[in-house]
């Protein structure tokens, strides 16, 4: 029998806490989905079309908005800091910084997957997670290795199909607005001389989401 919702929420928040993650229950009508978010992925992100958790493989904002409307509650997850890099500045970040944040990306996406999977096996079969950042389960994603047209068929080659979930931003979720609706004040981090990726400080906050029912 499926445990009562309040009991399940408490359990899932406890699991998140055991992973060093702050979690809180939210109503899904506070999740903000906007078309402009996808444009930030298409124009400005070096990971575009290189990871199966990102556009154009991720759901469109319209698909995400329609899907979110099928849920009433969810759990928002907050990840503070970067594992393995307690304090750093722009001079510490390599030009190819994806690997620099490897432990952070795994922390976010593995926790999201664990929360989703736990809820599913507890009877909350609609549970679905949205992670953050380009996927890093593989050193090189098959999406980047494949030549030819960029289309959905590439997904069948994914080596971790059971674990990969779209990032919130890739699916059109306004992470900043959604976090602020939950009472978390997060903001962009300035970069030195506006140089892509060269963030000035290490106080990075990441966000994940699991919708439940």
Q: What is the mean pLDDT of residues 24-33?
A: 98
Q: What is the mean pLDDT of residues 97-126?
A: 97
Q: CA-CA distance, 201 to 23, in Å (whole number)?
A: 24
Q: pLDDT tens digit string along 43-60?
A: 988 889 899 999 999 999
Per-residue pLDDT at 151: 77
Contacts of 47 (CB under 8 A, 6+ apart): 41, 54, 98, 134
Low-confidence winner among 60-64, 96-100, 150-154 (lowest mean pLDDT) = 150-154
Query: How many domains does the chain fold into?
Result: 1
Q: CA-CA distance, 179 to 55, in Å (whole number)?
A: 22
Per-residue pLDDT at 206: 98
Domain membership of residue 52 as a residue range: 5-211
| 205: confidence class by pLDDT, cuts 50, 70, 90 | very high
- Alpha helices, DSSP H only, in the chain? 5-18, 35-42, 61-68, 102-121, 142-145, 175-181
Q: pLDDT tens digit string along 150-198?
A: 777 888 889 999 999 999 999 999 999 999 999 999 999 999 999 999 9
Beta bridge mates, 180: none
> Is this structure's pTM higher than 0.85?
yes
| 25: confidence class by pLDDT, cuts 50, 70, 90 | very high
**3-class state of residue 9 by DSSP:** helix
- Chain mean position to CA 79: 11
Per-residue pLDDT at 163: 93
* Tokens describing residue 144: 């980047």
């Amino acid at each position: 029998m499926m445990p009562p919702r309040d009991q399940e929420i408490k359990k899932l928040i406890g699991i998140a806490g055991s992973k060093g993650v702050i979690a809180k229950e939210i109503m899904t009508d506070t999740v903000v989905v906007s078309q402009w978010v996808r444009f930030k992925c298409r124009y400005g992100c070096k990971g575009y079309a290189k990871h199966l958790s990102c556009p154009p493989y991720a759901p469109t904002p319209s698909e995400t908005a329609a899907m979110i409307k099928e849920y009433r509650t969810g759990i928002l997850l907050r990840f503070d800091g970067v594992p393995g890099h307690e304090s750093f500045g722009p001079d510490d970040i390599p030009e190819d910084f994806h690997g620099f944040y490897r432990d952070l990306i795994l922390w976010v996406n593995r926790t999201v997957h664990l929360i989703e999977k736990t809820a599913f096996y507890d009877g909350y079969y609609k549970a679905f997670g949205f992670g953050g950042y380009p996927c890093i389960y593989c050193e090189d994603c098959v999406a980047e290795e494949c030549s030819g047209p960029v289309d959905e068929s590439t997904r069948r080659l994914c080596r971790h199909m059971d674990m990969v979930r779209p990032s919130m931003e890739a699916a059109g979720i306004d992470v900043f607005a959604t976090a602020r609706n939950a009472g978390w004040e997060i903001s962009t981090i300035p970069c030195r001389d506006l140089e892509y990726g060269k963030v000035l400080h290490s106080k990075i906050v990441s966000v994940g989401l699991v919708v439940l029912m």
